[in-house]
Chain A
Amino acid sequence: DTEVTQTPKHLVMGMTNKKSLKCEQHMGHRAMYWYKQKAKKPPELMFVYSYEKLSINESVPSRFSPECPNSSLLNLHLHALQPEDSALYLCASSQERGRYNEQFFGPGTRLTVL
């Protein structure tokens, strides 16, 4: 299994809602990542988990809250988002965190904040 899966595929939420994005991989990878991608732009790194511990937070607002319950699963909890947070949210994983390890991306969750 060489796949990263993400659910849901699409999500529409109001600014007062609380929702979660889910990412799963069964490749035995120990590093997992969240990215945000706006239209016609490259992905921007948000968080990196290495061995289930948060190792990079790219100064992301606290309305985004990541969680890594186990080595296969990564969640992104959303609360009180703004319309400018509408974007494609991509999850990725790699064998380990390090320069040799290519990252495998999921298909993304397209988020719309009303």
Chain B
Amino acid sequence: GDSVTQMEGPVTLSEEAFLTINCTYTATGYPSLFWYVQYPGEGLQLLLKATKADDKGSNKGFEATYRKETTSFHLEKGSVQVSDSAVYFCALSGSNAGGTSYGKLTFGQGTILTVHP
């Protein structure tokens, strides 16, 4: 079945540091890939997405590129802020039309990011 593996956290950075959170996936077919962010006490917000190989999703300074050859979708940001402290989830959406996984989000375990001033 489909699966997503994220780098283990927690990740602690100083403000303005460079961020990378690794994400690799295993899936049948050709999934779409997403990064979601969850701030304390809130639901999940879509951060960015990519639907085909070499697509780059970007939003609020965050970027991730869909790499089919390495089955990866690593999240990066050049300069983090205290307000970026949250839990980050990598996820894929199943592509097997007619199958039970079609459109189903499979999440990684989540990475807790803490940014200090």
Contacts and interface: CB of A to CB of B under 8 A. Distances in A.
Contacts of A103: 46, 105
B28 to A, nearest CB: 12
B45 to A, nearest CB: 7
Contact of B103 (A42, A94, A106, A107): A94
Contacts of A74: none
Interface stretch (B13-21, B66-74, B75-83, B107-115): B107-115
Interface in B30-58: 30-32, 34, 36, 42-46, 49, 51
Contact of A105 (B45, B95, B112): B45
B104 A42 contact: no
Categorize the interface residue count of chain B.
20 to 34
Nearest to A107: B43
Contact of A45 (B43, B44, B105, B108): B105
A97 B46 contact: no
Given A42-B108, A99-B31, A31 B103 contact: yes
Interface in A83-114: 90, 92, 94, 96-108
Interface string A29-61: 001000000001111010010000000100000
B107 A102 contact: no
A43 B44 contact: yes
Contacts of A6: 43
Contacts of B42: 107-108
Interface of B: 30-32, 34, 36, 42-46, 49, 51, 89, 93-95, 97, 100, 102-105, 107-110, 112
